[in-house]
């Protein structure tokens, strides 16, 4: 699955209007201030390459899930931040993408950058409406997809436009596919995958796919309890995915030797999301000793040691999903422990976006990892072995 797609280096861009789909869907506080600009900085190499070559750069992004034109989801704060990072003006063009926008783009200087207002202000975007995609495509001569985070969605700005313009990958897209692709296709071994998060059902196809490739699969987080239940243990009020109990039993029977499951848990008598962590009583118990009215909220210290030992012997580690309710400090130690073990490891370390990326950033481990994916859902589908529509639509080399 690694990168056999044309990139911006394979085409002539000077003087051309280049439509670039970026993923500027950044987290903001209640005042609209950007709290993490990682996704913006990740797109800079592509933008700067294009401006350096004298292209006219027209950026397209979504932000949030607006229903129609919603001022709260304007890209204005992003255009301001982008101006600071690029050290050049970035005009934000209004949302109708009409005659005025087309004229503005036609009069752009080589090396100039503009940002179109939130593409999801148009319901036709997510519907992948061909007329809307065609209208978008008329603003450019070339299309570049650098938005790995939305590559698993066939939307007008990720897939629709490729029917009307020569379409290639940007540098971030290439980097994502190269890292994830080589990890899966040709990993340096031992290759270990770590899966966490809440639900087994979200990860069934990932588990199946990874078991054919990894040397060991570590399972933590809420999804581990259905495996513990499958082993016949009492799991109390811990997360339980009854519909996939048989699946877990089958995996234990056929691939049990590849699985590493938690041996202890930090349990709580109340759910911190309901009452806050201060109101929770907690204790550490073996996974065989969870009382019926308590619930698991994190992996325990012995599990951290067990996981860290496996990680320290690995050459490639891919991690997707936290080990516990890491949003609360009482239940963050497992996730911190795994991040620390990866940071200390000499392996190629890849974090597959989403909550694990947020955790690594929040806990200060970002710069210790080989690669942190900018796409949660996209990297998960990639790990499942699915073809991503936004990638499939680009030109092959």
Residues taking part in catalysis: 39, 199, 354, 377
Collapse the DSSP code of 192 into the 3-class scheme (helix H, G, I; strand E, B; otherwise coil) and give the result: strand
SS3 labels along 217-258: EEECCCCHHHHHHHCCCCCCCCCCCHHHHHHHHHHHHHHHHH
CA gap 147, 131 in Å, rounded:
22
Element (H, E) at 183: helix 171-185
Element (H, E) at 283: strand 282-286
Count the residues in the chain: 397
Pair 22, 60: CB distance under 8 Å: yes
**What sign does the dihedral 320-324-328-331 (CA atoms) show?**
negative
Identify the CA nearest to 156 among candidates 179, 187, 123, 181.
Answer: 123
């Amino acid at each position: 699955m690694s990168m056999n797609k044309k990139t911006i280096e394979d085409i002539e861009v000077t003087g051309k209007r280049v439509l670039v789909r970026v993923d500027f869907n950044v987290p903001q506080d209640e005042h609209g201030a950007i709290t993490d600009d990682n996704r913006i900085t990740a797109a800079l190499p592509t933008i700067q390459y294009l401006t350096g070559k004298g292209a006219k750069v027209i950026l397209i992004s979504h932000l949030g899930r607006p229903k129609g034109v919603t001022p709260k989801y304007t890209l204005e704060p992003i255009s301001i931040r982008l101006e600071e990072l690029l050290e050049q003006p970035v005009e934000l063009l209004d949302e109708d993408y009409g005659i005025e926008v087309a004229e503005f783009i036609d009069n752009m200087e080589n090396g100039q950058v503009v940002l179109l207002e939130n593409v999801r202000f148009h319901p036709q975007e997510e519907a992948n409406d061909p007329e809307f995609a065609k209208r978008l495509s008329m603003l450019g001569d070339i299309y570049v997809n650098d938005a790995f985070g939305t590559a698993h969605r066939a939307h007008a700005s990720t897939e629709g436009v490729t029917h009307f313009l020569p379409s290639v990958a940007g540098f971030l897209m290439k980097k994502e596919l190269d890292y994830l692709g080589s990890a899966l296709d040709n990993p340096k071994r031992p290759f270990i995958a770590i899966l966490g998060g809440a639900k087994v059902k979200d990860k069934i196809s990932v588990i199946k796919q990874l078991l054919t490739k990894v040397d060991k699969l570590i399972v933590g987080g809420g999804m581990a309890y259905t495996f513990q239940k499958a082993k016949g243990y009492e799991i109390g009020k811990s997360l339980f995915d009854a519909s996939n109990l048989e699946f877990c039993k089958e995996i234990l029977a056929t691939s049990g030797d590849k699985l590493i499951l938690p041996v202890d848990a930090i349990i709580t008598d109340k759910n911190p999301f309901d009452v806050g962590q201060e109101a929770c009583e907690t204790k550490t118990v073996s996974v065989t000793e969870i009382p019926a009215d308590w619930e698991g909220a994190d992996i325990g210290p012995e599990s951290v040691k067990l996981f860290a030992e496996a990680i320290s012997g690995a050459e490639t580690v891919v991690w997707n999903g936290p080990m516990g309710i890491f949003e609360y400090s009482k239940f963050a130690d497992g996730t911190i422990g795994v991040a620390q073990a990866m940071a200390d490891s000499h392996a190629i370390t890849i974090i597959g976006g989403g909550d694990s990326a947020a955790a690594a950033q929040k806990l200060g481990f970002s710069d210790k990892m080989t690669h942190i994916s900018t796409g949660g859902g996209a990297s998960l589908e990639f790990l499942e072995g699915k073809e991503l529509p936004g990638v499939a639509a680009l030109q092959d080399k």
